[in-house]
Structure 1
Amino acid sequence: MKNRIFFTFVLSIFCVLQSNAKPKVDTIFAASLQPIGRTLINSQHNLALITSGAHFGFSFKGNECAVYVSIADAGSHNYLQYELDGTYQKRIRVDGNAKGPIIIKANNAGTHRIWIYKATEATTGALIFSKIAAEDIKSLAVPKLPLIEFIGNSITCGAAADDSEIPCGTGDYQDHHNAYMAYGPSVARALNANFILSSVSGIGVYRTWNKDSPSMPLVYENTNLQENDSLKWDFKTYQPKIVSIALGTNDMSNGDGTARAPFDTVRFVNDYVKFVQLIKSKYPKAQIALLSSPMIKGNSREILQRCLSRVKTAIDTSHPADKTVATFFFQPMEPHGCSGHPSVADHQILAQELKPFFEGLLKQ
């Protein structure tokens, strides 16, 4: 009897100790994550999220997880943003000189799913992830859904859209990026599709907003979407169902005081046709969609629409066996973001405007 009492006492003490023990922390290293977007595993075996909206997911148990993320420039900063259990949360600043991980907390100790996104574009530098630590952590595969690639400029990046933390006219350019809320990711989520963004602020079909170079055709094949990048992107990584191209705003720019030649419609159309042909060589089965610009108004809007129609005619004529090129012309918009860009709220309006268009293309 005494032995039984003693055994019961020891067992109860053991159970108390077990209940007070900290949960086991597991770790996923970068190579085991399953990202989508332009990314790479670098020489240190870390995951670099390069382009706007590049993302990966994981699940874990408990109240928090530790995200080990850094950037290459110790004197700069960047941003990630995340979704927890299907709900968008916020942007998080990543400082170049930060020590230790970023801790993301949940409201309860259940099982949670997180998707982490790069909030900024490729030109701001990569977000570099080494590992994620949490209880019972598991990498999430990208859902098997149709994929839309959105090619474009600062609007497509979600640049200058978010002044919720830092007012327009203050801070650095990346402080107002919000790729998650840009029109492309927003319409993709609404239609249950995957997305990747291949976009660069200031870029055009044959020139940028205030100089002659670079252009999107010049940088598109480069992994970092920048000039003089020797690392070429492997276009076999994805095969999008739709490739959406929204270029022209910067080609038609007056240069903001920088002297430049008038908009050249012939060169614009010719270079655009060549660019679409390049895309078709990478993605021969993809539906090509040409979008106009909500920022261009009046006579310039009519000129851009005519140019896009000419591009469509040229491609449809030269590729008669392919799907015909689709075109979408935005309604003019008065933007409410920074420096004449759409705000986060404006992007939701654009996404709603685009939703029926892309919904129809996904059904084809």
Structure 2
Amino acid sequence: MYLEDLDKNKYTLIEADNLNYQYMGRVDFENPKAPTIIYAGSMIKTRFTGRSVKVAVKNVHACYENAIGFIIDGNITGKAVIEEHNKDIILDIAEGLSEEVHDLILFKRSDAAHYFDFYGIILEKGCHLEAPEAKSNRRIECFGDSVSAGEVSESVEYVGKSDPEGHEGIYSNSWYSYSMITARKLGAEINNNAQGGIAVLDGTGYFNPSLGYKGLESTYDKLRYSAELGECNKWDFSRYTPHVVIMALGQNDSHPIDYINKDKEKREHWKSKYKEIILDLRSKYPNALFVIITTLLCHNEGWDIALDEMTKEINDEKIVRFKFKRNGIGTPGHLRIPEAEEMAEELTEFIKGFGEEIWI
């Protein structure tokens, strides 16, 4: 259904600038009545009354299936698949609910496969929004690739295996990424700035090959970060100051050439650029704990050794390395939900080991 066809005698659009919406993630509020939801795992939380709920959006498509994930009252879950793009549309979320106040979470399941403008939710006439539970005072930020974004995570029959062929993004779900699970285990808000295929350096990795492979060096300080989906713009770092920063790059940096053990000059350049990004973030978050990791995804151990060297060179007691029990050898494909849980459990315990003072 198109938004212009909404029966206003039966339904009410509660616009996106209503104070009972709570947003999480790097969201573009240039138009507060149509904020753009950009990164995997970005969320909109609210509470509503009534027996049904719909959402009004405009989607900008790049690739794969585009869908909005939803959770109602913690136990009704699913996705609303977006079939039409660049149009003001209405997506059905749920019907036949009980007559009470319901908790609602809407979230972006995938990365730059799309952006969408959020106009608001649609309720039956006479129904209303209420404020959700207050935000956590614990804040995490994650810079990572497709594993951090939860790509192909729902394909649980492929645990320990390569990805199913031609999956077209239907199994991608940021909710089940290790990064989002870790945040929930720690009771923390998270800005999950993860993008499938990304490496540290421009010209490497898999992100945006048609536009020249953009690396973290070109995206870490951006709000809109994919030129395929429009003009990129700068992120205002004053809007969010994390207590913990997860840096999870290295798996994609060997593409197109795995040079880390073969070319000392390129190795030093890679370390230098990654260090430069981390130290710039450190200047913005002077008290944060930085945790530098790779994942269970199979990769050349040389990248981990280079990260060990880089961390030692930085010489900051709150910029630390962590390695998982099956680091770099766990699976040739993306992490499925059980493997993401495994990573999240280990990472959660590691972060807890720094005590409550890291959250002050």
Which TM-score tier does this pair reach, normalised by the shorter chain? 0.7 to 0.9
Q: For residues 194-236 of structure 1, give each alpha carbon's deviation from its aligned partner in whole angstroms, at most 9, with x where no partner exists.
A: 1111111111122533578421012111212335944111111
- Aligned-partner residue type, residue 322 of structure 2: F
| 1:42 shift after superposition | 4.7
| 1:80 shift after superposition | 1.0
In the alignment, does 2:178 pair up with 1:190? no
Q: Note if contact 1:71-1:95 (Cα within 8 Å) is conserved in structure 2.
A: no
| 1:75 shift after superposition | 9.8
Alignment partner of 1:133 out of 122, 130, 145? 122
Tell me the distance in 2 between the aligned counterparts of 1:100 and 1:161.
27
Which position in structure 2 is the counterpart of 1:30? 16
Which position in structure 2 is the counterpart of 1:9? none
In the alignment, does 2:86 pair up with 1:94? no
Q: Note if contact 2:15-2:119 (Cα within 8 Å) is conserved in structure 1.
A: yes
- Go from structure 1 to structure 2 and tell me whether the alpha carbon gap of 1:105 and 1:168 turns closer, same or farther (over 3 Å shift): farther
Q: Note if contact 2:259-2:267 (Cα within 8 Å) is conserved in structure 1.
A: no
Alignment partner of 2:153 out of 154, 158, 161? 161
Q: For residues 145-165 of structure 1, give each alpha carbon's deviation from its aligned partner in whole angstroms, at most 9, with x where no partner exists.
A: 201101101111111222379
Tell me the distance in 2 between the aligned counterparts of 1:251 and 1:75.
22
Which position in structure 1 is the counterpart of 2:259? 262
How high is the sequence identity, in percent, across the aligned residues? 21
In the alignment, does 2:110 pair up with 1:120? yes
In the alignment, does 2:66 pair up with 1:78? yes
Q: Note if contact 1:76-1:96 (Cα within 8 Å) is conserved in structure 2.
A: no
Which position in structure 1 is the counterpart of 2:48? 60
Counting only pairs closer than 5 Å after superposition, residues 1-364 of structure 1 correspond to structure 2 as 27-32=13-18, 33-43=21-31, 45-73=33-61, 77-87=65-75, 89-96=77-84, 99-105=89-95, 107-121=97-111, 123-134=112-123, 135-140=127-132, 143-163=135-155, 168-172=164-168, 174-207=169-202, 208-209=204-205, 213-226=213-226, 229-253=231-255, 255=256, 260=257, 262-263=259-260, 264-296=266-298, 300-301=300-301, 303-316=302-315, 323-332=317-326, 333-335=329-331, 340-361=333-354, 363-364=356-357
Tell me the distance in 1 between the aligned counterparts of 2:146 and 2:65.
19
- Go from structure 1 to structure 2 and tell me whether the alpha carbon gap of 1:274 and 1:145 turns closer, same or farther (over 3 Å shift): same
- Aligned-partner residue type, residue 70 of structure 1: K
RMSD of aligned residue pairs (Cα, Å): 2.9
> Which blocks of at least 5 consecutive residues in structure 2 are unaligned?
1-8, 158-162, 261-265
- Go from structure 1 to structure 2 and tell me whether the alpha carbon gap of 1:188 and 1:261 turns closer, same or farther (over 3 Å shift): closer
Which position in structure 1 is the counterpart of 2:160? none
Q: Note if contact 1:241-1:362 (Cα within 8 Å) is conserved in structure 2.
A: no
- Go from structure 1 to structure 2 and tell me whether the alpha carbon gap of 1:159 and 1:200 turns closer, same or farther (over 3 Å shift): same
- Aligned-partner residue type, residue 278 of structure 1: D
Of 150-159 and 94-103, the range deviating more from structure 2? 94-103
- Go from structure 1 to structure 2 and tell me whether the alpha carbon gap of 1:177 and 1:62 turns closer, same or farther (over 3 Å shift): same
* TM-score normalized with structure 2 length: 0.80
Structure whose residues are more often helix by fraction: 1
> Which blocks of at least 5 consecutive residues in structure 1 are unaligned?
1-22
- Go from structure 1 to structure 2 and tell me whether the alpha carbon gap of 1:331 and 1:200 turns closer, same or farther (over 3 Å shift): same
Q: Note if contact 2:143-2:220 (Cα within 8 Å) is conserved in structure 1.
A: no
- Go from structure 1 to structure 2 and tell me whether the alpha carbon gap of 1:146 and 1:118 turns closer, same or farther (over 3 Å shift): same
Tell me the distance in 2 between the aligned counterparts of 1:289 and 1:312.
10
| 1:170 shift after superposition | 2.6
